[in-house]
Structures are given as structure tokens and as C-alpha cells.
Chain A
Amino acid sequence: MSPTATTSSAANGNVSAATAAAAARTADAGTQPVTFAKALNSALADAMALEDSVLVFGEDVGVLGGVFRITDGLTKRFGTGRCFDTPLAESGIVGMAIGMAMNGMRPVIEMQFDAFAYPAFEQIASHVAKMHNRTKGRMPLPMVIRIPYAGGIGGVEHHCDSSESYYAHTPGLKVFTPATVRDAYLMLREAIDSPDPVIFMEPKKLYWTKEQVDLEALRLSHETDAVPPTEGRAAVARSGTDATLIAYGPSVSTAMAAAEAAALEGRSLEVIDVRTIVPLDDATICESVRKTGRAVVIAEAPGFASVSSEIVARIQERCFHSLAAPVLRVTGFDTPYPAPKLEKYYLPSVDRILDAVDALQWEEGA
């Protein structure tokens, strides 16, 4: 089932925030408006051009180019041996990718939607995550499982899950989730190069957002190691002094919009983009929280037993004496992802983030 293309993100202002960020960038020579989807598509094409062992397969990724067009043109350019459709079976796709990685390939496979990856969970949890450890590193599995995830697109049930906690909870998997067009390109290239298996979670509401980016310059900088890696390195997406907003993937643009709004009220918020959930960059997060003394963690996934609860716990363990207030969270409710007309009530919004910031005990803590 395809998602409807209607966006219901007016409630949280995500798209407008990203658009504003893009517009604010100065247009360098060679830069042009590039969508998140195009950046991913270019990353796949560049990796395939560089290395014959990089293969792309999944459901509808061939002639159609994927339901989100992330694999557009790859079959035409590289042939059906390099980018091809499989029978409709997610466990089969992941299981076959494992065998290919065992035998010299670097498969980059697509799960069509977050919830459609669940049939492959056994292969992911029992083999993708464990093969390296089980064989003491003798059988590495260099493979990438791309998963369009999270909501904000008015999608129907099973098309909007934030499933990152399942993977992050499984030792042996790396979990990447880009929040900008630039990172979409660089992080996917890095994931494909990684000797470890990477669950690459693509916030699907960002697919159509644009930034001014020079893709050729990005390609060169990646292939010449001119840019520092993103793995294990959170980004300071916006500097601030009063409190830290910690977000990843689809929630970063919401956090940025909240920081923009807070600035108008005279409050300076720092925004941390986690980028790689596993491995997690404790240092950057804690450095920011120690500086500001206050933090709100934002995520679309239900908060219970989640990545957001893990981040809060780690801040508490490491930054307790720097905290002026309890660390708060703005997350999805502990309910199944709602029907399209109700998602605006469920998703973390700018207002809900600002309310949480307001509740950080400013009077007592100052």
C-alpha cells in the first residue's frame, strides 16, 4: 500500500523549518536545491559506481525505483544484476543479503516501510546482529538495511512506525538516522562503507525537503576522507546557552523550529542532532547538557523503554551535578501510531517542546 502524499505536518512545522533552514544557507557555486531523496539516491549511485560489490535489492526498487524513488535509475544505470526486485518477502530479502555479505558483497537492501520490516526481525536480531560476534569477527556482515520510518506524512497504519528502539536495543547493529540532506548523503555513504551492519533509518517525511547542496563536492569530500565521519558523532545543529534539545531523525527539524521560536522569546536553546543512535555520542550530548544545565529529549517513538529514555538515563548518570532541572522528554504517546487525522495530536510539536522547556524549573534553577 502506498502512503498518501498529503502532509499533515502543519501541526509541527517541520517542513517549513527545513525550508527555512535551506533558504537561509548561502548559495555556493555548484550548490543547488537537492531533496533528501535525491541525496540518498546519489549516495547509492556513487557507492555502486565506486565498488562492484555494492548491490541494491528489495521490493519495487528496480524499474519503479522504489515507492519513494530512492533507487530511481539504478537498474537502468547498473543493470539488473546490481539493482533488482525480489519476491515479496522481507525475511527473504534480509536473509539473502546476509548470505551475499558472507560471500563478498555489500548489499544495501530496502524495507519498503518501517512496519514491513517486522517479518525480517528474526534474521536481523539473530544473524545480522550476531554473526560478527559469533564468529569472533571472522565473518563480518557489511550490509545496510534501509528503512523509511516515522510519521508526519498522513500515512495509513503500518506505514508510520518509529521502530528504532528495537534495533538500538540489539547489540551488534549500528543505527543511523540522518536529519539533513547533507547528512543523508554522507551517512549513507558511511553506512555502505562500514564493516558492520547498519540499520539506516530514513525519516520519510524528510524525503521531499530540500537544501542547497553540492552533491559532487560531497562525493569528493567523502571519497577523499575530507569530511569527518558522522558515526558516533552527534552534531550541534544550533548553538545555544540556556537549555539543550536532543533529537534525531524526524524530530530534529521540529526541535530546530522550537529553538527558533524560543529565540524570539529571548531563550537560547542548543539543538543536538544525535545522527547515529548506535554508537551514541555521549560526549557531545553531555558536553552540551553540562553547559546549559537543562535538557529536553525529543523523539516521535513512544517514550516507554525507548531511545529517548536511554538518552535521559545516560544524561542523568553522567551530568547529574550539572543539572538545574529534571531532564524532560517530548515523545510520541505510548499508543499505537494513530490514524492520519489524529497524528497531529500524537507527534512532538513545537508547542509541546516549548511547554517542556518552560517546565525546566527556571525560577529555582537560575
Chain B
Amino acid sequence: MTTTEPRDAIEQVSSKFGITPEDYMLPARTEIHMLDINGKLHPSGQQGAEPGHEYPLPSPKALVDAYEQLVIGRRVNDQNSALVRQGRMAVYPSSHGQEACQVAAALCLGENDWMFPTYRDTVAVMAKGVAPMEVMAGFRGDWHSGYDPKQYKVSIQSTPLTTQLLHAVGVAHAAKLRGEDTVVLAMCGDGATSEGDFHEALNFAAVFNLPVIFFVQNNQYAISVPLSQQSVAPSLAHKAVGYGMAGERVDGNDLVALLAVLGRAVRLAREGNGPLLVEAHTYRMQAHTNADDATRYREDSEVQGWIDKDPVTRMRTYLADAGLLPQDTEARITAHAEAVATALRDGMNSENVPDPADLFAHVYSTPTTQMAEQAAMLADELAREEDAK
């Protein structure tokens, strides 16, 4: 096995930027912005003014493609929330307000790269290419998960917080041992950074110098508990330095900055420079899920303040002002988003009755004797029910 020792990796990459290892690992003094809240591009030089933290503007095509996914993401969130309200879906944790993070997480990855999402990252999962109705199987209550993780290189949407970060580390480790070019992006929220597995995953990734991007969407709340009760660190990105990896924080409602920062992080990881931690500062505009009541723990005025920072509006304004969004392009994007929403509605309206025999079929590669006995018992019950009709 040929590996760069973690310590050497940090020395090498920081010298490329002409900065000390400490300055490489510490996030920039302020989070990286590229668009202001009015959708105006910051003058270059303000986009990360410090050496080693400069980020070039992504190409116009990359920005328009990302905007298309952003519009689709917003439409998916709103459509799914509506389906929950109509009682056609059991639950949907919406990423409304966080769509820029969702889209950038998917678009920064290449074909051989893996994503490890959470339950709130449905839009990112779809943006990485998973068929929408396969994603929705879990939320409509058909099964715990509906897509093939290997086919899409997207793991199941994890419910237990940060457990998936360690799986991401393992996928990256296996790929590295075989000499494969694979970067892994592992997602979690601000509350999850309090979990022990967050610590273990970052530490393992750094010690084994693995190409993993830990992408924290800091949306300010873990259900009802604000960030101030999770951590008093200067920022979540600062935690990186404790593991010997680089951290960066970015405006999570600024799609341009997210594409730039995550894009560079993936490139650095791919080049063998070890893992990175990226914290995106965003806001969960809706309640935790439909079962939650956000008015019990936060003021409307706080939510209103974030409407001004809406990622979709900002991106649209910027692209329109830059002449990158002619009418036909915008019409095509809107139609695409509407088609995805229609497919979701139609899919949810179609009746899908799960097979009770599946209860026993997948627990092991081959059902045990005991499973077979229980399956037979249930089949017999169902047969008698059928006869009684």
C-alpha cells in the first residue's frame, strides 16, 4: 500500500498554497460568500480574501445547470410537503431553504464518487441521479429504503445521526486500498456534530488520510435545540483542526460559493490531501417534520429574516442580471421542475401494496429455519383471511 502519511499530506498541501499547516487547517476568518443577499457578485478578492482561501467563480454552464437543480429541489420540497398535508405520504423532512446545499453536494461529485445522505437530504439524493419514486419509497412507508446504493453510489438516507459518516470513511478506505479514484461526501447537520460517531469518523478519516468531505449543513436547529446548546466552538468548521484536517465555512444559501468551496474540497481530497470539513451556514425554513411545531421554540421574525437570504431568489437574480437566464432557458427549467413534481404526485397516487412475505425474505441472504416457519404462519393467516372473505 502506498500512502501519504497524514502529517505529510497537510504539510504538502499547505505549502502549495504558500501558507502554514495551521492556516490551511483553520477556516477563513469569515464564511465564504460569493453572492450577497441581493444576488450581486462580491468583487473578486472579497470572495475569500485570505491566502489559501480564494475561490474562483464556477463556469456559467455549471451555474445554470446548478440553478436548474435548485429550482427542481425547491419544487420537490414543496410538492412533498403538500403530499404529506394531503395524507398521501407518512412523513417528509423538508430541506426547504437548504436547497443550495443539497444541489452543491450532489454536483460536486464525479461518477465514481459516493454520497452518504441523511433523512433531510432527499433533494441531494435526487440531484445525484436516484430515481425520485425510488427515493420516496421510504417516506411513503413501503419499505425502509427504495433504491440500490451500489447502482447510484448513494447510501441509504441515514436516520441515526452521524452513523453514516463512519460508513463513508469505510467506503473511502476500501477504495483507497484498491487504488481507486473515489471521493466520498458525508452529510450531517449541526446537532449531529455532538454525536460520538462524528468525532470518530473525522478522526479515522484523518488518521488514514482518506478522501472524505464531511459536509455539515448548519441549519441552526436540531429539532428544537439551537446550535448554541450543541457547541460553543468558534464555528463547527473549526473542529477540523482538532483532527488535523482543513475546515472551511461557507454561506449555505449561496449556491455559487457552495459550488466553489465544495468543488475545491473534492479536488483536494481526490489529489490525496486527506479529508476536509465544510460547514454551510443555512436555515431550516420549516419545522423538523410535519409532526413538529416550530412555533414552540423560535420566533416568526427569525424565520422572516432568512426569507431575505433565500437561495433560489439570490441565484435567479444573479443569473438573470448576468444574462445567463434567457426566457426559453427559464421556461425549460420551470417545465422540468413541474414534470418532476407531476411524476411525484402520480407516483404517490398509484396504489402500491407491499408484499408481507418481504418481512422475512431479506433479513438474511437465506431465511433461517425460524424465519421460514414464521413466514409460513403469516402466509397461513393471510390465506385464512382470504378464505373468510
A31 contacts chain B at the CB level, 8 A cutoff: no
B129 — which chain A residues lie within 8 A by C-beta? none
Give the residue of A86, A136, A194, A278 whose beta carbon is less than 8 angstroms from that of B143: A136
B contact patch SS: helix
B167: contacting residue among A80, A86, A98, CB under 8 A:
A98
Are A282 and B1 also in contact (CB < 8 A) when A139-B149, A196-B365 are?
no
Kindly state the separation between the CA atoms of A357 and B161 in the bound complex, as whole angstroms: 50
Query: In the complex the two chains form, is A99's CB within 8 Å of B1's CB?
Result: no
Listed residue (B145, B156, B174, B204) with the most chain A CB atoms within 10 angstroms of its CB: B174
Known: A81-B1, A102-B171, A123-B163. A140 touches B365 (CB 8 A): yes
B166 touches A132 (CB 8 A): no
Query: Are B163 and A122 closer than 8 Å at their CB atoms?
Result: yes
Segment with Cβ contacts to B, from A6-14, A89-97, A252-260, A341-349: A89-97
A-B contact count (CB 8 A): 141
Which of under 10, 10 to 19, 20 to 34, or 35 or more describes the interface residues of A?
A: 35 or more
Partner of B201, one of A92, A122, A232: A92
Nearest opposing residue in chain B for A130, CB measure = B144
Bound complex: CA A131 to CA B74 (Å): 30
| Known contacts A95-B166, A97-B170, A136-B143; is-contact A103 B364 (Cβ 8 Å) | no
Q: Which of B10-51 contact A (CB under 8 A)?
A: none
User: Does B362 interact with chain A (Cβ within 8 Å)?
Assistant: yes
Closest to A127 in B: B163
Given contacts A95-B169, A139-B149, contact A195 B197 (CB under 8 A): no
Task: List A117-165 residues whose CB lies under 8 Å from chain B.
Answer: 119, 122-123, 126-127, 130-140
- Which residue in chain A gives the minimum CB-CB distance to B207? A87
Contact between chains at B204 and A133 (CB < 8 Å): no
Q: Chain B residue with minimal CB distance to A107?
A: B170
B368 close to A (CB within 8 Å):
yes
CA distance A264 to B369 in the complex (A): 38
Interface residues of B in 130-168 (CB under 8 A from A): 143-145, 148-151, 155-156, 160, 163, 165-168
Q: Which of A86, A104, A136 contacts B178 (CB 8 A)?
A: A104
A101 touching B170 in the complex, CB below 8 Å, given contacts A132-B363, A132-B365, A282-B370: yes
State in angstroms the CA–CA spacing of A105 and B163 once bound together: 19
Shortest distance in angstroms between A72's beta carbon and chain B's nearest beta carbon? 21
A172 to B167, CA, bound (A): 18
> Are B170 and A99 within 8 A (Cβ)?
yes
Interface assignment of A39: CB less than 8 Å from any CB of chain B: no
**A275 to B233 Cα, complex, angstroms:** 50
Chain B, Cβ-Cβ closest to A194: B365
* B residues near A96, Cβ cutoff 8 Å: 166-167, 169-170, 173, 204
Bound Cα distance A92, B165 (Å): 9
Query: A3 at the A/B interface (Cβ < 8 Å)?
Result: no
CB distance from B52 to the nearest CB of A (A): 28
Select B1's contact among A79, A134, A280, A283, beta carbons within 8 Å: A79
Which of A95, A98, A105, A136 is the most central at the interface, judged by chain B CB atoms within 10 Å of its CB? A95
| Contact between A102 and B149, CB atoms less than 8 A apart | yes
Once the chains bind, are A99 and B362 in contact (CB under 8 Å)? no
Contact of A232 among B160, B207, B363, B368 (CB under 8 A): B368
A103's partner among B144, B175, B370 (CB-CB below 8 A) is B175
Which 9 A-B residue pairs are closest in the complex by CB-CB distance?
Answer: A99-B170, A95-B166, A81-B1, A92-B200, A103-B174, A279-B368, A99-B167, A96-B170, A195-B365
Which residues of B line the A interface, CB within 8 A?
1, 114, 143-145, 148-151, 155-156, 160, 163, 165-175, 177-178, 196-197, 200-201, 203-204, 207, 358, 361-365, 368-370
